[in-house]
Structure 1
Amino acid sequence: MSQPSDGLSRRRFLAGSAGALALSPLLLHGRRAGAATPGRLRVAQYKGGDKLLLEAAGLADTPYPIDWAEFASGNLMVEAMNGGSLDLAYGSEIPPLFGYLKGARIRVVGVIKGDVNEQTVLVPKDSPIRSIADLKGKRVGYVRATTTQYYLTKMLDEVGLSFADIQAINLTVPDGAAAFRTGQLDAWAIYGYSVPLAQTSVGARVLKRANGYLSGNYLFFAAPEAIADPQRQAAIADYFARLQKAFAWRQANHERYAAALAAEIGVPIEAVLTLLRNESQVRRLVAVDDEAIRSQQDVADTFHKAGVIERSVDVRPLWDRSFATAFAG
């Protein structure tokens, strides 16, 4: 299978989208955290992520300091962790897989069971595109090494197409938002609160949701040095315990959580509530288990079969069960 074209490339889109990008409420740029400090956690999050949730749930009073760093996607978190800037981060099954293939120093230590209904292919509101088959020859934005590459691969294969049959354009989240908003994309495979932002700002229409294509597993990964450091390991265990409670609070307090999140990310409260009410499963945090490992192995095998990765890979060495006791507690 031909690899997605980068030459349609980001430069052309960035040049055309610079003005719109400056105004986007979706600008989520990663910031490097400082050097490791005993007892201090350097934690990655998305805009409106765990920091806001812990504060809203009244669980932010950790006995250890946390340096938060905001990123737009899990693949950027993997890069930052491999560079020594992070202790803990999370993303879908795909970024850790691509990082593992490149030798990144990361280990998967926990699993969030989360929503997949907010993973979608969007098209402009007046688009004539009505099915995935209609994407043939069209300009489709996605984020390489994330869920978007995976579910788009699966959806295209289902209708006898591949990335070679579309004009696939790898864009960061903010670049994709600007390109979609300014009419430079025919479709956009994207996730999270980018979806309601696009719907409320330009009336984007959902072409297809990723439910049925994704497992709903979102992986917490940690730096091996943080796992090996007793102080940081204890801090991570406490962080996970707090997050488990925070997810339970989120489920019981949709309105309060939606109000806090809407203010943070700049979308109407009702847009957040719509996503919360339509989640494919209750969000929860669980320990590493064999089923989760098999799920990521399926992703790796799918990418290998599609020619996205050049060799077969055994993902088991990527996973670490060091926090089993913490999750059980």
Structure 2
Amino acid sequence: MQHRRPRRRLFSLAAVAALLAVGAAACGGGGSSPDSSSGDRTTLRIGDQGKILELQLTLSGQGKGTPYGLGFNTFADGPHMNAAFSANRLDVGYMGDTPVLFANASAAGITAVAVAKSTKNSQTIYAGKDSGIQTLADLKGKKVAVTVGTSLHGYLLQQLDSAGLTEKDVTLVNVPATSLVSTFTSGQVDAVVWVSQYGAALTGTGAQEIKTAPLPQYSVVLAAKSALKDPTKRAAIEDFLVRLSRASTWPKAHPDAWVQTYYVQLLKQDPTTSRAFFDSLPATQYAPVTDDFTQFQQKQADLLIGAGQLPKTLKVSDEIDAAFNAELTGKFAAAGLTT
């Protein structure tokens, strides 16, 4: 039995690496300098998480030959990236759908420029073996660990809503994502919102995944409004998004290489379980912002406003630049990409 303990520990650390990786790297036509230009050459300052964008662009070859530099900076999560946008340290960046709402509320100077929709949500809810929680309704009156402002938070509110509950019906325990597993396994809470891929870190303790409502999930690419006002950067961002759209299909077309590079080499995961998880995911591709994304965001916003997490004056429409979205749609069509 002792030989299994390091594996459970590995799962939790890998989850942290995926969600909360820190550092910087570069690929494609540019370096990792945080500066927006190098001499006469424009460099896009790109916010990444878990090196997802960097790896997709590198492995697919779409990052090669860009007429601008690519400077990748990997952030812990959406809230940290929002702070970088507010400080004018990024031109583009990718995060989950919920942090976009908080970026909007904090006047971070961003607009959503591309989305990738998944019909399978990567989050779920685990309950302690002695918690008495078997359904979403059983969460009422219980302590639930989550990281406020992240997609985990938005997911929880939507799941509660599906059971006729609100955030006020539970005791929300806000802890950093790095502490979610330890907070749960130490018995400080009854349930935790976590990433299903890394459930082995919890099920090994006897925790059970409760049945949840099916929800879509969006990955969102944001652009700084200031960058879009610069004609050179605007053109670079449009080209980058076309390349990213193509690159985002590469993992499903090359599953062996993607699982080995991302899950095994980067996240230090077991290749067999990683392949099974990856095969269960639907194919996704970045495209210009869609109406269904806006409607999805509005529902989340309403729930977060009702919970007192966002101001009542928030307008989801402020996340979208209609003129840029129409322009980008034309660029995608010209590139032969369907939207």
| Cα deviation, residue 172, structure 1 | 2.2
Could you say which residue in structure 2 is the equivalent of 1:164?
168
What secondary structure sits across from 1:40 in the alignment? Answer: strand
Say yes or no: does 1:284 pair with 2:285: yes
TM value normalised by structure 2: 0.78
What secondary structure sits across from 2:286 in the alignment? Answer: strand
Could you say which residue in structure 2 is the equivalent of 1:324?
329
- Provide the rounded CA distance (Å) in 2 between the counterparts of 1:164 and 1:269: 41
Letter in 2 for 1:89: G
Could you say which residue in structure 1 is the equivalent of 2:28?
none
Could you say which residue in structure 2 is the equivalent of 1:78?
82
Contact kept, 8 Å, 2:21 with 2:75, in 1: the verdict is yes
What secondary structure sits across from 1:287 in the alignment? Answer: coil
TM value normalised by structure 1: 0.80
Say yes or no: does 1:24 pair with 2:28: no
- Provide the rounded CA distance (Å) in 1 between the counterparts of 2:240 and 2:205: 38
| Cα deviation, residue 223, structure 1 | 0.8
Alignment of 1:194-233 (within 5 A): 195-196=198-199, 198=201, 205-209=208-212, 211-212=214-215, 215-233=216-234
What secondary structure sits across from 2:210 in the alignment? Answer: strand
| Cα separation, partners in 2 of 1:66 and 1:296, compared to 1, 3 Å | same
**Count of residues in Structure 1 that have an aligned counterpart in Structure 2:** 305
| Cα deviation, residue 289, structure 1 | 3.2
Unaligned runs of 5+ in 2: 1-8, 25-32
Contact kept, 8 Å, 1:122 with 1:208, in 2: the verdict is no
What secondary structure sits across from 1:220 in the alignment? Answer: strand
Q: 1:60 aligns with which of 63, 77, 80?
A: 63
Letter in 1 for 2:332: F
Could you say which residue in structure 2 is the equivalent of 1:39?
42
Could you say which residue in structure 2 is the equivalent of 1:16?
none
Could you say which residue in structure 1 is the equivalent of 2:110?
106
Contact kept, 8 Å, 2:159 with 2:212, in 1: the verdict is no
- Provide the rounded CA distance (Å) in 1 between the counterparts of 2:203 and 2:268: 10
Could you say which residue in structure 2 is the equivalent of 1:4?
none
| Cα deviation, residue 175, structure 1 | 2.2
| Cα separation, partners in 2 of 1:31 and 1:87, compared to 1, 3 Å | farther
- Provide the rounded CA distance (Å) in 2 between the counterparts of 1:120 and 1:61: 37
| Cα deviation, residue 222, structure 1 | 0.7
Q: 1:272 aligns with which of 248, 271, 274?
A: 274
Q: 1:188 aligns with which of 178, 185, 192?
A: 192
- Provide the rounded CA distance (Å) in 2 between the counterparts of 1:137 and 1:166: 5
Contact kept, 8 Å, 1:72 with 1:172, in 2: the verdict is no
What secondary structure sits across from 1:97 in the alignment? Answer: helix
Alignment of 1:287-302 (within 5 A): 287-302=288-303
- Provide the rounded CA distance (Å) in 1 between the counterparts of 2:306 and 2:275: 38
Letter in 2 for 1:294: Q
- Provide the rounded CA distance (Å) in 2 between the counterparts of 1:157 and 1:114: 20
| Cα separation, partners in 2 of 1:131 and 1:290, compared to 1, 3 Å | closer
Percent of residue pairs identical: 28
What secondary structure sits across from 1:285 in the alignment? Answer: coil
Unaligned runs of 5+ in 1: 1-19
What RMSD in Å do the two structures reach over aligned CA positions?
2.9
| Cα separation, partners in 2 of 1:203 and 1:251, compared to 1, 3 Å | farther
Residues 42-66 of structure 1 show CA distances to partners (whole Å, capped at 9, x for unaligned) of 1111114111222232333243332
- Provide the rounded CA distance (Å) in 1 between the counterparts of 2:189 and 2:314: 33
- Provide the rounded CA distance (Å) in 2 between the counterparts of 1:86 and 1:324: 23
Say yes or no: does 1:309 pair with 2:278: no
- Provide the rounded CA distance (Å) in 2 between the counterparts of 1:85 and 1:76: 12
- Provide the rounded CA distance (Å) in 1 between the counterparts of 2:300 and 2:109: 20
Query: Greater relative contact order: 1 or 2 (C-alpha under 8 angstroms, separation 6 or more)?
Result: 1
Residues 145-197 of structure 1 show CA distances to partners (whole Å, capped at 9, x for unaligned) of 2222222123223434332332211122212234335444432213475x356
Say which is worse superposed, 76-85 or 164-173, in terms of deviation.
164-173
What secondary structure sits across from 2:252 in the alignment? Answer: helix
- Provide the rounded CA distance (Å) in 2 between the counterparts of 1:301 and 1:166: 18
| Cα deviation, residue 271, structure 1 | 3.0
Contact kept, 8 Å, 2:140 with 2:169, in 1: the verdict is yes
| Cα deviation, residue 248, structure 1 | 2.1
